[in-house]
Amino acid sequence: MLSDEQKEWIDHYIRHLEVERRLSDYTCKNYQKDLNIFISFCKENKISSWDSIDSEHVRSYSASRFRSGVSPKSIQRNLSSLRSFFRYLVKEKKIKNNPAQNVRAPKVKIRLPENLDTDMMMRLLDIKEIGFIPDRDRAILELMYSSGLRLSELVNLNTTDIDLSDATVIVTGKGNKQRIIPVGKFAIDAIKSWLKSRNNEIKSDSKALFISIRGDRLKARSIQSRLNYWAKKQNLSVKVYPHMLRHSFATHLLESSQDLRGVQELLGHANISTTQIYTHLDFQHLAQIYDQTHPRAKNKRKG
């Protein structure tokens, strides 16, 4: 099994993620969890050091995870964590090569996320009530749909991140990357109403944009609960979750603009392939882009 010294390198790596790469606690815990699973594999297979691990060991690890019923998507994340960790060890000159570099997980079956159509979305946003909680919830829903925010991005927003006069919001996304996103008129109006209601009804020193009745930052679970509440109250026939609003934002925007790169920037996706899956582009649309832009397309169709 791995020595205490070898295990210490995982601690060094996690600190590197926290301090130098400034990843979130949630992300660091996932890396730690993935590496702990791999340590158990090393113990079972009597692997004594990091530099004794080769690509066959990693493939065997991936196969064992798959046989035990772990989903391909989870194995993909496990391997991504390993690749990143071994890359760190190479950089620190503790190993010569990255044994996980060319190991791939089993193919993931692509499942397209659900979205609300425009009518259902308008019904969800049509909140008639006024007051601290309805005003807050209306602002949350409007902002999520207006700007396509992730739930974690919404939770971490502070009042200083919103520019009401410029109608923009500064969002801190994955990898601590910031982006500036436009905010629609309905969302701006809803946020103004919420801030007025908040200031009139409660005194709080919290910097958070969205707070509870107790004055502390609203948690992700509470937002999910409120979304469920309004979906039922507005008589929606489907289960609604926060990411569905982000997906609906992307789908409706893409249908109107057909600007894939623009949607990619707004969503904060590093790769456009993620945006293509996320917005479930159909083949007909892709074929249309090909016909309009590829220099050989017309000649090819004629022949």
- My answer on whether 122 and 36 are in the same domain is no
SS3 181: strand
Say whether pLDDT at 266 is over 90. no
- My answer on whether 280 and 165 are in the same domain is yes
Per residue in 181-192, pLDDT tens?
888 899 999 999
Residue 2 pLDDT level (bands cut at 50, 70, 90): low
Asked if residue 98 belongs to a domain, the reply is no
- My answer on whether 147 and 33 are in the same domain is no
Report helix, strand and coil shares of the chain as percent, to nearest 5: 60, 5, 35
Asked if residue 301 belongs to a domain, the reply is no
- My answer on whether 220 and 161 are in the same domain is yes
SS3 109: coil
- My answer on whether 141 and 219 are in the same domain is yes
Per residue in 119-134, pLDDT tens?
888 999 999 999 999 9
Q: CA 79, CA 34: separation in Å to the nearest integer?
A: 8
- My answer on whether 282 and 164 are in the same domain is yes
Q: CA 107, CA 76: separation in Å to the nearest integer?
A: 9
| Mean pLDDT in residue range 134-143 | 95
Q: What positions carry a catalytic annotation?
A: 150, 174, 243, 246, 269, 278
- My answer on whether 20 and 161 are in the same domain is no
Better pLDDT: 254 or 302: 254
- My answer on whether 208 and 271 are in the same domain is yes
Phi, psi of 47 (to 5 degrees): -90, 125
Residue whose tokens read 């999520």? 144
The per-residue pLDDT for 281 is 43
- My answer on whether 82 and 226 are in the same domain is no
Sign of the torsion angle spanned by Cα atoms 200, 204, 208, 212: negative
Asked if residue 292 belongs to a domain, the reply is no
pTM above 0.75, yes or no: no
Range of the domain at 279: 118-286
What b/e sequence results for 281-294 when a residue is b if at least 16 CB atoms lie within 10 Å of its CB, and e otherwise?
beeeeeeeeeeeee
The per-residue pLDDT for 13 is 93
- My answer on whether 261 and 169 are in the same domain is yes
Q: Which CATH number do you get for residue 79?
A: 1.10.150.130
- My answer on whether 83 and 156 are in the same domain is no
Tokens of 196: 């007025």
Per residue in 68-106, pLDDT tens?
889 888 999 999 999 999 999 999 998 999 999 988 887
148: left (phi over 0), alpha (psi -120 to 50) or beta: left
Per residue in 19-67, pLDDT tens?
988 888 889 999 999 999 998 898 888 887 888 899 999 999 999 998 8
Asked if residue 293 belongs to a domain, the reply is no
- Is residue 184 classed exposed, middle or buried when 0-12, 13-18 and 19+ CB atoms within 10 A define those classes? middle
CA torsion 128-132-136-142 (nearest 10°) is 20
- My answer on whether 51 and 123 are in the same domain is no
Domain count, the chain: 2
